[in-house]
Amino acid sequence: MTDLERGDVAAHDPADRHTAAPAHDLLCFSHLRWDFVYQRPQHLLSRCARARRVFFVEEPRPTDGPPRLEVGAREGGVRVAAPHLPESLQGEARDRAQRILLDELLRAHTIDHYGAWYYSPMALDYSRHLRPAATIYDCMDELTGFLGAPPALRERERELLARADLVFTGGHSLYEAKRPLHPAVHPFPSSIDVAHFARARAPQPDPADQAELPRPRLGYFGVIDERLDRDLLDAVAAARPDWQFVMVGPVVKIDPRDLPRRPNIRWLGHKPYAELPRYIAGWDVAIMPFARNDATRFISPTKTPEYLAAGRPVVSTSIRDVVRPYGLMGLVAIADTPDEFIVAAECELHRRHRRRWLGEVDAFLARSSWDSTWDRMHALMTAALRGETSQSSCSTT
């Protein structure tokens, strides 16, 4: 066996097979790294791993050595498979190396009966030879609209839709876009770990890097990329120098030098999921200053219910899946221009009847949780693994 064929895959543990009660494992192919921002894939697949083995296959990392695959367990039981490939490998040679490492993963862990779960249609380039019991496409975003999307992405998605037994979408706008393309599309908008973010409602010490900031504070957490309306943020911060803007999250795909730089805008970088409630506990208003562009046309921001569970009023631009239902229900203020954003934030800073608003928030959030969302998704997936078919539905909230 060559070094390429051998790779660097964890040896098969005979006990591995006995820990999985169901007959089918799950192979997930993702463009997102497991240890990046904790979001939809982590919430769903950690719950999946309670009942079956889950292998989360990431996109390759660069290496100076031969191709290898590192497999390691994460909290919650998910096994993360990280390919390491020389940057000199490109095109078909790169795909071939990934196929070899993927096949080694299946052999080393005796993955014989499995389903394939895709976040990245581009993963078909090295996985289309697989024969899973069922193929699931969890379309959490319209990736073709994102900055730097591969030219072949749209074609790969058409291929994935033709192969898929089930399609899930991360919001209702995406559901409406994908429903004509597949007979079994099901909308599952962002859910919420209420207990985690409700910790922000209790008084607690500020994290050190925001403790000295004066009030009021308007905060954001999440990935900072082309979806952020930098001009809007800059204009609002310029108009209200007495407000502090706390921006928490990693900067990706855009040049950090293009971020607005003002004394009242603080870029605090990436923070672990466990620490987010501590940050938001020290904010007066949570904000979602999203641009309205191709990258945000179909987004359903998970942070919307997270902000609300933390008990913070929210001001957002008119993202469709935020307007409907949060804006229409009066749970989130909607504003697009700098003047509108300032007026909306002023209103939230001086909101009357806060207790009644919190009651409405809690009543709404009680209808949705990651546990209940996963239970419904898992039931559909289990039926697909058994060869049962389903029809598109719009029954989730």
55's enclosing H/E stretch is strand 54-57
Measure the CA–CA gap between 46 and 76, rounded to whole angstroms: 5
User: Cα-atom radius of gyration of the chain, to the nearest Å?
Assistant: 22
- Residue 195: helix, strand or coil by DSSP? helix
Contact of 227 with 249, CB cutoff 8 Å = no
Tens-binned pLDDT, residue by residue, of the chain (397 aa)? 333 333 344 434 434 444 434 569 999 999 999 999 999 999 999 999 999 999 999 999 999 999 999 999 998 999 999 999 999 999 999 999 999 999 999 999 999 999 999 999 999 999 999 999 999 999 999 998 888 889 999 999 999 999 999 999 999 999 999 999 999 999 999 899 999 999 999 999 999 999 999 999 999 999 999 999 999 999 999 999 999 999 999 999 999 999 999 999 999 999 999 999 999 999 999 999 999 999 999 999 999 999 999 999 999 999 999 999 999 999 999 999 999 999 999 999 998 888 999 999 999 999 889 999 999 999 999 999 999 877 777 544 4
- What is the CATH number that goes with domain 3-191+370-385? 3.40.50.2000
Measure the CA–CA gap between 141 and 177, rounded to whole angstroms: 11
Q: Helix/strand/coil (H, E, C) string of 258-327?
A: HCCCCCCEEEEECCCHHHHHHHHCCCCEEEECECCCCCCCCCCCCHHHHHHHCCCCEEECCCHHHHHHHH
100's enclosing H/E stretch is helix 91-108
Residues of the chain with CATH 3.40.50.2000: 3-191+370-385, 194-365
14's enclosing H/E stretch is helix 14-18
The CATH class given to the 194-365 domain equals: alpha beta
